[in-house]
Amino acid sequence: MQYLEEYIRYLTYEKQYSKYTVVNYESDILEFMEYLGQEGISLLKIDYSLIRGYLSYLFNEKKDNNTTVSRKISSLRGFYKYLSNHGLIKNNPFRLVSLPKKNKHLPKYFYYNELEELFNSCDTKTPLGQRDELILEMLYATGVRVSELVNIQVADINTYDMTIKILGKGNKERIVSFGEYAKDALDLYISDGRKTLNTKNSNYLFLNHIGGHLTTRGVRDILNRIIKKTSLDKNISPHMLRHTFATHLINEGCDLLAVSELLGHESVSATQIYTHVTTDHLKDVYFHTHPRAYINENEDKYNANKE
C-alpha cells in the first residue's frame, strides 16, 4: 500500500491529473492488488504469465469489455513504470502487453429538431429556467466538457468577442466561442435569473437553487429533468451535447483539425470518431447533387446533359 500511496501523490501533485482520473487509477490498481493477494504473489514479483492470467480473469470471470480492460492495463502500465523508474523493480512487466482493441461506438447526438424541442422546454420566465436554457445553449454552442462548464466564472466571459476562457484537462487553457443564441440566453440569465440565485456572492456562472456552485452531478440531473418535459425518447448527458456540437460542425463542413482544437483534444486522432456522416447529411447531399432528385428544378439540366 505504501507504493500505491506514493504513486497517487505523484499523480495528484506532480502530474496534476484530475481527481476523477486519479480515482480510476487507484481503483484499477487496488483491484489488481486484490487479485495478487488471492494468488499469493507479491506486487513486485509478477511476470508476463501472471498478467496473462489476470487478463483471462478480467475477460472471462469479470466479463469486462475491451475498453474497460484497456483502461485497467493502462493504469497498471503507468504504475509499474513508476516502480521501475524508482528502482523498485528491474523491468516494467506491462510494457509488452498489447491493449485489446477498443469497442467502437458511434457517438450519439441530437438532430436539429430535437435540439429545438429541448431549448423550447425551458421556462425562461423563472431564474432556474433561464439557467437551464443557458446550460443547454452553452454545451451545444461551445462543446465544452461538463467539468469545464461548471467551472466557468463570470470573469472568464468576454461578451464583446463572444468568447470564454476555459480551463481544460491538465490545467490547459483554451478559448471557445459562442453564438448569438447562446449570447441572448447568457444576457437574460446574467441580468435577471443569476441575480436572484446569487445569494452567496459567487463568482461562478452557474449556480444551484440555493446560490451555491452548481456541480457536474447537478447538471446531469437538470438535463434529465429537461428531457422528461419533451416528447424525445432518448437519454441525455452533457457529453451527448458535446458529441452533437462536433457532429454538426463536421457535417456543415468544418475541418477536423479545427473541431479538435475547439474540443480541446490533445490529438486530432481523438476527434476522428466524429467523421461519421449522419443520415440527414447524406440525404441533403443526395438531393442537392443528384440530377433526378427534383423534377422541376433539374429537369432542364438533365435533358441538356442527355443531349
- CATH code of the domain in which 55 resides: 1.10.150
Instruction: Tell me whether residue 235 is in a domain.
Output: yes
- 147 with 232, same domain: the answer is yes
- 38 with 76, same domain: the answer is yes
User: What pLDDT was estimated at residue 286?
Assistant: 77
User: What pLDDT was estimated at residue 114?
Assistant: 94
| Gyration radius from the chain CA atoms | 25
**pLDDT tens, residue order, the chain (307 aa):** 788 899 999 999 888 888 888 999 999 999 999 999 888 888 888 888 888 889 889 988 888 888 888 889 899 999 999 998 888 888 888 887 877 776 666 788 898 999 999 999 999 999 999 999 999 999 999 999 999 999 999 999 999 999 999 988 878 899 999 999 999 999 999 999 999 999 999 999 999 999 999 999 999 999 999 999 999 999 999 999 999 999 899 888 888 888 888 898 878 877 877 766 555 566 667 777 777 777 765 444 444 444 4
- CA torsion through residues 93, 95, 98, 100, sign: positive
User: What pLDDT was estimated at residue 292?
Assistant: 72
User: What pLDDT was estimated at residue 141?
Assistant: 96
Which domain, by its residues, includes 189? Answer: 112-276
The pTM score is: 0.63
- 253 with 117, same domain: the answer is yes
Q: How many helices (H) and strands (E) does the chain have?
A: 14, 3
CATH of the domain at 200: 1.10.443.10
How far apart CA 164 and CA 301 sit, in angstroms, is 48
User: What pLDDT was estimated at residue 226?
Assistant: 97
CA 199, distance to chain mean position in Å, is: 31
Question: For 146, what's the count of Cα atoms within 13 Å in the CB-facing half-sphere?
Answer: 19
The residues carrying an active-site annotation are 145, 169, 239, 242, 265, 274
Instruction: Tell me whether residue 251 is in a domain.
Output: yes
Which grid coordinates belong to 98? 498489447
Which grid coordinates belong to 239? 457529453
User: What pLDDT was estimated at residue 301?
Assistant: 45
Extract long-range pairs of 193-199: CB within 8 Å, 24+ residues apart: 193/126, 193/127, 193/128, 193/129, 193/130, 193/131, 194/127, 194/130, 194/131, 196/127, 197/127, 197/128, 197/131
Instruction: Tell me whether residue 234 is in a domain.
Output: yes
Distances (CA, A) of 88 to 45, 81, 179: 10, 10, 54
- 9 with 140, same domain: the answer is no
Q: Which of 42, 69, 85 is the last residue of a domain?
A: 85
Instruction: Tell me whether residue 104 is in a domain.
Output: no
User: What pLDDT was estimated at residue 132?
Assistant: 98
User: What pLDDT was estimated at residue 98?
Assistant: 79
Instruction: Tell me whether residue 287 is in a domain.
Output: no
- 73 with 143, same domain: the answer is no
Instruction: Tell me whether residue 297 is in a domain.
Output: no
- 252 with 130, same domain: the answer is yes
- 55 with 124, same domain: the answer is no
- 214 with 178, same domain: the answer is yes
Q: Are strands 157-158 and 173-177 parallel, antiparallel or unpaired?
A: unpaired
User: What pLDDT was estimated at residue 302?
Assistant: 41
Q: Could you give the number of structural domains in the chain?
A: 2
Closest CA to 149 of 160, 162, 137, 161: 137
- 251 with 181, same domain: the answer is yes
- 187 with 76, same domain: the answer is no
- 258 with 179, same domain: the answer is yes
